[in-house]
Amino acid sequence: MRWKECTLLLLISPDSVDEALDCAKAAEHLDIVDVKKPDEGSLGANFPWVIREIRDAVPADKPVSATVGDVPYKPGTVAQAALGAAVSGATYIKVGLYGCTTPEQAIDVMRGVVRAVKDYRPDAFVVASGYADAHRIGCVNPLALPDIARRSGSDAAMLDTAIKDGTRLFDHVPPDVCAEFVRLAHEADLLAALAGSVKVGDLGELTGIGTDIVGVRGAVCEGGDRNAGRIQPRLVAAFKAEMDRHAQEYAATVATAS
Ligand SMILES: O=C[C@H](O)COP(=O)(O)O
């Protein structure tokens, strides 16, 4: 799947089998179920058996993604963990390049992941994820991600926030820089994914930017609380409805302008 064929996809991140069952209830309103363990970090990795149970719990036509963690610069360790996620049933493998301080380190890690995952499952989709608030944790710059993804053979470049303290994607990477991120990803024939306490009110901007995947947890949890709240199927449906509304408005604007 390449960007020219895509519309905006909604990725939702449950943290347990129970929450994944709630996602399954809202399956018609989401595109990707993303297994993570938020108490182990922004892209915290969950147990293999949880990935497997969630794969079994959601409809077969919904891809299951799994985060491999906020990983250190340890290419062998990370490659092995990524293979574990793939063997457990995930077809989207997301790696948070938390411990990589240079693009070269990040490419090293992602090359190992791509080889480990694609040797096992050639059609798996590998996502190189950086952090919008990289300046707070000292990892690679957000705009370096598309090139890291391209040079490592990954399929997508993503940004999320590392520190979930209420600050949001656009607080750290303003919309015009996110647009440049998406442009660079598309130029490299990659999908672009954006996340980080994204709210319904950000969808107009995200649609205009042309991102391919928007990742969400807090906005579809009860009370907007990604930790204490649980994913609500009705909030997933409402979020998707807003995405569709913005997509239609944007398409109409483009059609009028041309
Ligand atoms: O991959 C997406 C993340 O889980 C986003 O979580 P968040 O919306 O709570 O920041």
Structurally, the chain folds into a number of domains equal to: 1
- Quick check: ipTM above 0.95? yes
Q: Are 208 and 250 in contact (CB under 8 A)?
A: yes
Residue 82 lies in a domain: yes
Residue 197 lies in a domain: yes
Residue 3 lies in a domain: no
Widest pairwise Cα distance in the chain:
52
Tell me: the pLDDT tens digits for 197-238? 999 999 999 999 999 999 999 999 999 999 899 999 999 999
69 Cα–ligand 1 center, Å = 13
Ligand 1 atom 5 nearest Cα: 216
253 Cα–ligand 1 center, Å = 29
Closest-CA residue to 194 (of 172, 208, 218, 178): 178
Tell me: the pLDDT tens digits for 48-61? 999 999 999 999 99
Q: 233: domain CATH number?
A: 3.20.20.70
Closest-CA residue to 35 (of 7, 24, 168): 24
Q: Among the atoms of ligand 1, which is closest to the Cα of residue 34? A: 1
**Whole domain around residue 117: which residue ranges?**
10-257
